[in-house]
A and B are shown apart, each in its own frame.
Chain A
Amino acid sequence: MDKKILYSITALFDTPDGIIHAAEEVRRAGYKKYDVHTPYPMHGMNDAMDLKDSKLGFITLAAGLLGGAGIFGFVTWVFVKDYPNVIGGKPYFSWPAFVPITFEITVLSAVLVTVGALIAFFFKFPNNSHPLHDTLYMKSVSSDKFGISIQADDPMFDEEKATALLQTLHAQSVQPVYYDEEELTRSWSTFDPKFLLLLAGVAIIVSGATYVTMNILLYLPPFDWMSNQNKFKPQSTTEQYSDLRMMRPSVEGTVARGFMPYPYHGNPDAAGKNLVNPLPASKGVIEIGRTKFLTFCSPCHGNFARGDSRLRGQFPNPPTLHSDKVRNWPDGNIYHVITEGQNIMPSYASQITRDERWAIVHYVRTLQRAFNAKESDQQ
C-alpha cells in the first residue's frame, strides 16, 4: 500500500482560454502523453492539442448504412416472401412504402452504435481502476475547473520540468497524482461470492417489490366479461329447477320441424292399402324420380330395375322389379320398402325425402310399363 507510483502532474485552470493556452504550450513543449479534462466539450481543443480527426464518423456511417440496408432487406423479406399481402392493389415489393422505416432505422442504428462505440472503444468503459479516479483533480474538472494532466510515462517526462512548465502557465494549482500498483493490477472476478450475493439480493428485492406492487397494491381483476356473462349455459346446474338442470327437457309430444310421423312401421300391407301417391305422374316428377333412382337404387337394382346389379356380384342381387308380384303391388308397398327396407335392403328414409320417394315410385312404374307394354301402348 505504501508503494505509491507517480502517474501524472495535473494542473487546474479557471477559464477555457487558460486551458486552451495550456494545451497549446504543453504540445509545443513536445509532450505526447497528456490529456485535458473539461466539464463540457470545448471547441478549438482539437486544434490546441493537434488531435487527428476522430474515426467515430466512419463507425456512424457504417452503422447507418448497415442498419438501413438491413431493415430494407427485412421489410422486403416480410412483404415479399414471408407474408405477402396485396395492399392497395400495389405490388408486393412497393419500395416507396419501405423508405420511411428505412430512414428511421438508419438514424436509430447510427445513433445507438455511435454512442455504444464511443463508450466501449473510445472511452474504454468499463474502466474501474484509472489512477485519476477518486482524486481532487477529477472532482474539480467534473464541476467547474479545466484540467490538464501530463503523464509520467511520456518519454520526455521530468517531474520538476513538467511542474515548472505548468506553473509558468499560471495554473491555479499543480498537483502530482499517485497510484498503487496493487490497485491497478487488482482483478475483478465475476464469481466473487460477495458480487453473487449482491445480485441475488437485488433479484429477491426487485421480484418481491414487483410482486407486491403488481399483484397486491395495484391488483385489478382480470378482464373476463366475455366468458363470465350473466346468463345460464348449457350443461350447467341451477338452483332454479328442482332437477338442478339448466337445460330443460322438451314438452312431451314435441316433434322436430318438418317431422311427419309414419304410422305403418313394420306393416307393409296397411301401407299398401292406405297410402296413395300424392304426386302427379308428370314429366318433371318422373325426371326427379329417374335421377334419384339412378343415384340410390340402380347400384343394386340395375339401371332398368331388372335386378342386374351394377356391382358385378360384390353384393347379393335383388330380384327384378318387373315381376308380377311387384307390378301388382300398390304404390304404398313400394313406398314402404324404400322407407323401411326389406330383407337385406336398408332403409333409405334418411337419404331420400318423402316426395323423392314418391317420385321414385312413379319412375319404377314407368319402367315397369315400358318393359311390359300393352298392345295399346304400342299403337
Chain B
Amino acid sequence: MSTNPVTYQKKELPGSVTSMAATATIAGLILVLLTYWLDHSRGLFNNIIGLSVMASVSVGALFYVALEYLSGAVWSTPFRRVMEFLAASVFGVILLAIPLYMNLHEVFLWTHVDALARDTVLLNKTPYLNVQFFFIRGAVFAGLWLMFYWVLTRNSRKQDATGDQSLTRMNIRFSTAFMPIFAITITFFAIDWMMSLEPHWFSTIFGVYYFSGTVLAALAVATFIIVSLNERGYLVAGLKKDHYYSLGTLLFVFTNFWAYIAFSQFMLIWYANVPEETFWFVSRWRNGWQYVSYALILGRFIVPYFVLLSQPSKMDVRKLKFMGIWIFVAHILDIYWIVMPSFSRSLVLGWQELGFPILITGLIGLIFVFKSKRENLVPIADPKLQRGINFRL
C-alpha cells in the first residue's frame, strides 16, 4: 500500500478553460467545414496537417509516459498525468483520419490507377503503396496506440485508487514493448501520410524527422500546460525551478535535435544532387514557399535556440510558457511546409489554413478538461512521486 505522505487536494479546472476550448473547437469546426465546402481538396490537405499535428501531440505524449517508466525518471512523475491526458487525444487522431480515408483518391497520386499504368516507378511501389495495405496499416497503428494508451493510463489510474506499486513494474514492461512499436509506427505514419504525398520522393531520414518534431511538439504543449497549472497550484506543491529547468533543457535539446535532423536531411540531398530527391526541396524553395522555409528555420530553430540558450531562461516561467506555444505553432508550420507544397506549387496561405490548428487546439483542450474532471492531476500513489517532488538538480 502507498505510504506517500504527499498532500494533494484535487482542484477542478476553471470553467473558462472549458468554454475557451469549446469555443475554439466550434470556431475551428466552422472554418474547417467552410474550407471543405469552398475548396474540397484544400480542406483535405489541411486535414492531413491537422491529423499529423494531433498524432504528434498525442502519440508524442504517450512516448514521454513510456520514457519516464522506462528510464526510471523521477523528476517528471509529479506531472506525468498531463502527458497522459494529452495522450488521450489519440481518439482525436482517429476522428481526423475518417474524412481522409473517405477521400484518399483526391489526395494521393498512388491511388490513381491511370497514373500507375504510365509510371513504372510508382508501379514498383504498389506492394507497399496500395489502398488495402494503407487501410490495414492505419488500423493497426491506431489499434496499437489505443491499446498502449489504454493499458498505461489504466494502470496509472488504478494505482491512484489501490496504491499497488507492482502496477509501476507492469507499466515498465508495457513501456519496453511500446518503445520499438512507437518507433516503427511513427516512422510509417510519417511515410504514409506525408512522404507518400510525393510518391516519387524518398528520404530515409524522414521518419526521424517527423519523430523529432513530434517529441518537440508534445513536450512544448505539455510544458505550457504544466507551467500554467503549477503556477495556479493545480499540481502538487513543491515543484521548483529544478523541474522547470529540466523541461526547458529537454525543449532546448530537442530543438537542437530537430535542427540536426532537418539539416542532415537537407544536406545529404543537396550534396548528392540527384534530381529524383532534390525536386522536393526545390519545390519548397521557389514560388513563395521559400518564405515558409525561411520562417521554419527561424521559428523552429533560431528563435527557440537563442531564447532557451542561457541557464536562467530555461527556468523562466514566462519564457517557458511562451516557448511552449511558439514551438507548438512552429510544429504546425513544419507540417504545413511538408504537406502543402504537394497541394499547390505556389504558396497558399489563408484563413483556410487556420481551421484545423484551431480545431485541434480546441479538441486537445476539451479532451484534457474531460480527463482532468474524472482523474487526479497528479499520480498520487506513484512510488516515485515523493522523490520526484524532492528532485534537485
Contacts and interface: CB of A to CB of B under 8 A. Distances in A.
Contact of A53 (B271, B311, B393): B311
B310 A44 contact: no
A99 B265 CA distance: 13
B392 A99 contact: no
B142 to A, nearest CB: 38
B143 interface: no
A88 B273 CA distance: 8
Contacts of A96: 263, 266-267, 270-271
B392 A44 contact: yes
Interface of A: 43-44, 53, 57, 61, 88-90, 96-97, 99-100
Interface string B357-393: 0000000000000000000000000000000000011
Contacts of A53: 311-312
A71 to B, nearest CB: 17
Contact of A88 (B263, B267, B271, B393): B271
A89 B273 contact: yes
Given A53-B311, A53-B312, A57-B311, A43 B393 contact: yes
A97 B263 contact: no
B310 to A, nearest CB: 7
Given A96-B266, A99-B263, A43 B273 contact: no
A99 B392 CA distance: 37
A97 B271 contact: yes
Nearest to B272: A88
Interface of B: 263, 266-267, 270-271, 273, 309-312, 392-393
22 contacts: A43-B392, A43-B393, A44-B392, A53-B311, A53-B312, A57-B310, A57-B311, A61-B309, A88-B271, A88-B273, A89-B273, A90-B273, A96-B263, A96-B266, A96-B267, A96-B270, A96-B271, A97-B267, A97-B271, A99-B263, A99-B267, A100-B267
Contacts of A90: 273
Contacts of B270: 96
Contacts of B312: 53
A43 B393 CA distance: 6
A46 B238 CA distance: 19
B313 to A, nearest CB: 11
A96 B273 CA distance: 13
A43 B311 CA distance: 14
B238 to A, nearest CB: 15
Contacts of A97: 267, 271
A53 B270 CA distance: 43
A44 B245 CA distance: 14
Given A53-B311, A57-B310, A96-B266, 15 more contacts: A43-B393, A57-B311, A61-B309, A88-B271, A88-B273, A90-B273, A96-B263, A96-B267, A96-B270, A96-B271, A97-B267, A97-B271, A99-B263, A99-B267, A100-B267
B243 to A, nearest CB: 13
A57 B273 CA distance: 40
Contacts of B263: 96, 99
Contacts of A44: 392
A44 B311 CA distance: 15
Q: Which 5 A-B pairs have the closest CB atoms?
A: A43-B393, A96-B267, A43-B392, A96-B270, A88-B273
Contacts of B309: 61
A96 B263 CA distance: 9
Contacts of A99: 263, 267
Nearest to B268: A96
Contacts of B393: 43
A118 B266 CA distance: 37
A89 B263 CA distance: 21
A70 to B, nearest CB: 20
A100 B393 CA distance: 32
B148 to A, nearest CB: 35
A164 B310 CA distance: 41
Nearest to B267: A96
A315 to B, nearest CB: 64
Contacts of B311: 53, 57
A321 B263 CA distance: 84
Nearest to A58: B310
Contacts of B392: 43-44
Nearest to B392: A43
A67 to B, nearest CB: 16
Nearest to A100: B267
Nearest to B310: A57
Nearest to B312: A53
Contacts of A57: 310-311
B105 to A, nearest CB: 38
A97 B266 CA distance: 11
Contacts of A61: 309
Nearest to A88: B273
Contacts of B273: 88-90
Nearest to A44: B392
A43 B270 CA distance: 45
Contacts of B310: 57
Nearest to A42: B392
Nearest to B311: A57
Nearest to B270: A96
A44 B240 CA distance: 12
A281 B65 CA distance: 103
A53 B263 CA distance: 34
A99 B259 CA distance: 12
A53 B271 CA distance: 43
A97 B273 CA distance: 13
B107 to A, nearest CB: 32
